[in-house]
Structure 1
Amino acid sequence: MTPEQVLAKPRRRRAYWHTALALAVLAAVLLLVRHHWPVLETGAVRLAVADQGWLLAAAAATLLTWPSAALAQQGAVPRRLPPGRLLAGQFAASAANQVLPAGLGAGTVNLRFLIRCGLPLGDAVTAVAVKGTAGGIARGAMVAVLFAAFPGVLHLPHIGGGLLVVVFTTVTVAVLLLVGPLWPRCRRLLVTTGRYIRAVHARPARAAALWGGSLGFVVLHCAVLIAVSRAVALPLPPARVALLYVAASSAASLLPTPGGLGSFDAVLAFALTAVGAPATAAASAVLGYRLLTVWLPLVPGFVVLGTLVRRGAL
């Protein structure tokens, strides 16, 4: 048996587990849809007669999300990338993200794009990881700021000190057992990654693009949901809608469904109704957001993806 075949077995096993978990989540979502179908149907009707001006504003914010993603990816790479292909790659990555779990679709497209642009494999992987980390930090910063402004919206569970000690000890032991034997390699990887991050931040324009694009991407998605909520007359303040969106998208990212399909929708709808929004208005807002950010761009995104592959850009 070759080394490639030996390494392929664990990867195949992980793929089976991810697929099984994703199917289980989707099955649960289908049951919820069946149970709440009258509310969803009413929400769709409400969306059809929504305010067209706010829907146009939501569509405009959606169109700006891809330039923001392209700006963030350029900021994670010291060398200049071709802007047209970079923007097309982000549009294609958003479509690929809807068929692979846990953000693997977008990461794979960006990785192949950077390699085609001449980056070594290690630098390309680091650049994709830096962009993803910056996006997570930007999302966390928004949660912190909005939570401070609206402390009563999210009800965090009370966790005792004893439980925290047990969790911290368990995580520490697990990290030591897993990382300990591999520490020399991990140390080299951390040194290489740190050197790459310093090289990016040594150029103020790149650092501004990385963090500005990452924050802009999250803010624009919040703006899409806010505009849709205004269109369907959802009776919640915009900042509160933004907080619920960021919290729901962060929670849904823990489940390996493609593009958060089902998990994000259920969490966001539940969060909106939990703070007093009518169920039909919440369903309309979620449906409108998904329609603009996922379903309408999906087919054009796959067309762009196929074009980039045929032209050798991916």
Structure 2
Amino acid sequence: MASTIKNQAARRAEVRKAAEQPQSLFAANWRSWLLAALLIAGVVVAVLHWGDVKKFAALVAHAQPIWLLAAAAAQVLTYVALAIEWTLVLRMAKCRGPFGKLLGLTVAKHFADQMVPTAGMSGNVVLVDRLREISGSRPVALAALIMTVIAYYASYGVASLLALLLLWIHGQTSWVVIGLISASLGLSAGVPTLALWLHRKGAKAIPAWLRQIRTVCELFEMIKEAPTRLVRNTRLIGELTLLNCAGFALDGLTMLFCLFSLGVYVPFGIAFGAFILASIVVTLGPIPMGLGSFEAVSIGMLRAMGVPFEAALSATLLFRGYTLWVPLIPGMFAARRQLRRKKR
């Protein structure tokens, strides 16, 4: 009798192992495909825009080093702020996450978001996959993703209002600016509301015919797995929003320091307003990474606020170098390490 029970248990274990094997193979395959897509995209972007990279290098060679270092430090702190956000979520969930790993994950996520234009989905895939391994819990990883999205768009609305105020102080408001800010505020209110609604409803949020597609149904049910005590923790959301606001302020400081490095000294409000307006156009526009549109709006806003054209152009190219080209190589290695780590 005992031997029969043991044999049955052994057969059940073999069946479970066989059932899990395709899933693990699929997981390895999708990581390989995503890694390949990211690396290829990185190489293609670098080749197609090699002229911008060379211009950035030339500008760095002639700019004031102290302000270039200040701009670099401001950009590093934006990654630190995001890593702190995830640390707070994991701590609230009673999960441990080494800060060094989370900091490396911020670089990998930024690279994925920039290289594959999928409205942030590629970076979110990397985020959930790695946080799931770090925390040991898929629901906690999903909660971190949902709360990051909510906090980002909430802070985006705050930053947009602040930019409008600063532009008004400098006499640079117009119906175009007000329209862009209004669209940004609508997005800032709509995305968090949608995220919370999807979390509450799960698969019930989609039409019945879509629920017949197993993958789609499982995806929406997976969103519902995120612990409610985390996702609806208003104090934690407030802390994450403040950290995101700090990130926007650091980006504004980066633009300011780029202007300083060229010998152009302007108030913070001018640099911050130009950065936010350019970011709004990139967010609302269809162009991957905002290549061209960001530069056009940033230069136009700086020029309208009295910055000479040459300085506005050079500062914008320096800023894009810090936010796009400099993180390219470390981001490529970080994404490769993050996606391959799970396969070992």
Q: Does 1:131 align with 2:144?
A: no
**Residue in 2 aligned with 1:49?**
62
TM-score (norm 2): 0.63
> 1:119 is matched with which residue?
137
The one-character-per-residue Cα deviations of 1:195-253 (angstroms, maximum 9, x if unpaired) are: 8464356495x446422321221111111111111111335322121122112112211
Alignment of 1:1-314 (within 5 A): 47-77=60-90, 78-79=92-93, 80=95, 81-101=97-117, 102-117=119-134, 118-120=136-138, 124-151=141-168, 152-157=171-176, 185-186=204-205, 196=227, 198-199=229-230, 202=233, 206-207=236-237, 209-234=239-264, 236-312=266-342
Q: TM-score, normalised by structure 1?
A: 0.68
Question: Following TM superposition, by how much is the alpha carbon of 1:263 offset from its aligned partner in structure 2, in angstroms?
Answer: 2.5
Aligned length: 258
Aligned amino acid, residue 66 of structure 1: Y
Work out the CA distance in 2 between the residues paired with 1:294 and 1:195: 32
Instruction: Tell me the amino acid that sits aligned with residue 125 of structure 2.
Output: T
SS of 1:234's equivalent in the other structure is coil
How far apart are the structure 2 equivalents of 1:276 and 1:43?
23
Q: Counterpart of 1:259 in 2: which secondary structure? A: helix
Go from structure 1 to structure 2 and tell me whether the alpha carbon gap of 1:208 and 1:144 turns closer, same or farther (over 3 Å shift): closer
Deviation at 1:69, TM superposition (A): 1.2
Q: Please tell me whether the aligned partners of residues 143 and 226 of structure 2 are also in contact (alpha carbons under 8 angstroms).
A: no
- Is contact 1:252-1:260 (8 Å) kept? yes
Q: Deviations over 1:110-135 (max 9, x none)?
A: 12222323333x65344313212211
Going from structure 1 to structure 2, the CA distance change for 1:212 and 1:193 (only over 3 Å counts) comes to farther
The letter of the residue matching 2:293 is S
The superposition leaves residues 12-58 of structure 1 with CA deviations (integer Å, 9 ceiling, x where unpaired) of xxxxxxxxxxxxxx9xx99xxx9xx9xx9999755532211111110
> Bigger radius of gyration, 1 or 2?
2
Query: Is the CA contact 2:299–2:316 (under 8 Å) kept in the aligned structure 1?
Result: yes
Q: Which segments of 5 or more consecutive residues in structure 2 lack a partner in the other structure?
A: 1-44, 180-193, 207-219
Tell me how far apart the structure 1 counterparts of residues 173 and 100 of structure 2 sit (CA, whole Å). Answer: 40
- Higher mean C-alpha deviation, range 132-141 or range 142-151: 142-151
Q: Of the two structures, which has the highest relative contact order with CA contacts closer than 8 Å and spacing of 6 or more?
A: 1
Per-residue CA deviation, residues 76-109 of structure 1 (Å, 9 max, x unaligned), is: 4542333221111001111122211122332222
Residues 82, 46 of structure 1: CA spacing in aligned structure 2 closer, same or farther, 3 A cutoff? closer
Task: Tell me how far apart the structure 1 counterparts of residues 59 and 339 of structure 2 sit (CA, whole Å).
Answer: 40
Following TM superposition, by how much is the alpha carbon of 1:313 offset from its aligned partner in structure 2, in angstroms?
8.3
Q: Any gaps of 5 or more consecutive residues in structure 1?
A: 1-25, 161-174
Q: Which amino acid aligns with 1:145?
A: L
CA contact (8 A) 2:278 2:294 kept: yes
* CA deviation string 1:128-160 (max 9, x = no partner): 132122112112212212322431323124999
CA contact (8 A) 1:92 1:304 kept: yes
Question: Which residue of the partner structure matches residue 5 of structure 1?
Answer: none
Partners of 1:250 and 1:43 lie apart in 2 by: 23
Q: For the Cα contact (< 8 Å) 1:103–1:259, is it kept in 2?
A: no
1:171-208 CA-to-partner distances (Å, cap 9, x unmatched) read xxxx9xxx9xx998139x89x8798464356495x446
CA distance in 2, matches of 1:304, 1:201: 31
Q: How many Å separate the matches in 2 of 1:195 and 1:93?
A: 20
Q: Between Structure 1 and Structure 2, which shows a larger proportion of helix residues?
A: 2
**CA displacement at 1:59 relative to structure 2:** 0.8
